[in-house]
């Protein structure tokens, strides 16, 4: 590889880093990836797995935020049931059960909580949650997922047979954030773009 080409590649890499860290470019891309469908009340709130459980046994920050989002939506009366999904690994109870414990401590009755703790992918989550809710005749759900992944998750759950609306803050455009926050968001966006290609090729949605 010639020195001129190396310099060009290096320049592009540095420019990309500066744009991602110090401008709202990645915020705009994340917003663009979010669905434009308006949110409305549903029969159940479905909180997708997000981050799992840390080595300490506590929920990760991402997982905790998802759990609290679901709890707040329930408390606002947007659905009478909350479904917590999550990885079975990390905590003896798994991510979904740890989230359910937090919901009960926040006043959500046990009868309003359902957990799904065996799925490892969004497609598996959709299939397993559909099996759980089918007996309750629940078709319309409000989905709680990270903003970059919301569009893909909605398509996967719709393919599983649900009528899906996004959590109400999926459409919010936020230009703020520290450089490290934007770089973290860039990582999420990049992983989501790869996931979209894979899911399209695999036929999941």
pLDDT tens digit sequence for 61-98: 889 999 999 999 999 999 999 999 997 765 667 899 99
Contact, 114 vs 83, CB < 8 A? Answer: yes
- Report CA torsion sign: 148, 149, 154, 159: positive
Cβ(79)–Cβ(41) below 8 Å: yes
Of the candidates 39, 46, 113, 5, the residue with the CA atom closest to the CA atom of residue 13: 5
Between CA 86 and CA 94, with CA 91 as vertex, the angle to 5 degrees is 30
Q: Which residues of 145-164 are buried (b: 16+ CB within 10 A; e: fewer)?
A: bbbbbbbbbbbbbebbebeb
Q: What is the pLDDT of residues 8-65, one digit of tens each?
A: 656 655 666 666 567 777 777 677 666 767 889 999 999 999 877 777 778 888 899 9
pTM of the model: 0.79
């Amino acid at each position: 590889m010639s020195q001129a080409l190396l310099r060009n590649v290096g320049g592009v890499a540095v420019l990309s880093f500066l744009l991602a860290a110090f401008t709202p470019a990645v915020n705009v891309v994340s917003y663009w990836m979010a669905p434009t469908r308006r949110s409305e009340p549903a029969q159940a709130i479905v909180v997708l797995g997000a981050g799992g459980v840390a080595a300490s046994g506590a929920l990760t920050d991402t997982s905790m935020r998802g759990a609290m989002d679901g709890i707040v939506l329930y408390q606002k009366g947007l659905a009478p049931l909350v479904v917590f999904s999550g990885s079975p690994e990390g905590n003896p109870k798994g991510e979904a059960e740890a989230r359910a414990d937090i919901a009960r401590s926040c006043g959500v009755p046990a009868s309003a909580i359902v957990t799904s703790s065996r799925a490892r992918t969004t497609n598996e989550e959709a299939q397993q949650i559909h099996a759980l809710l089918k007996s309750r005749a629940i078709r319309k759900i409000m989905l709680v997922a990270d903003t970059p992944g919301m569009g893909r998750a909605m398509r996967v759950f719709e393919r599983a047979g649900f009528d899906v609306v996004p959590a109400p803050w999926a459409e919010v455009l936020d230009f703020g954030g520290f450089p490290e926050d934007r770089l973290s968001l860039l990582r999420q966006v990049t992983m989501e773009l790869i996931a979209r290609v894979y899911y399209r090729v695999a036929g999941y949605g």
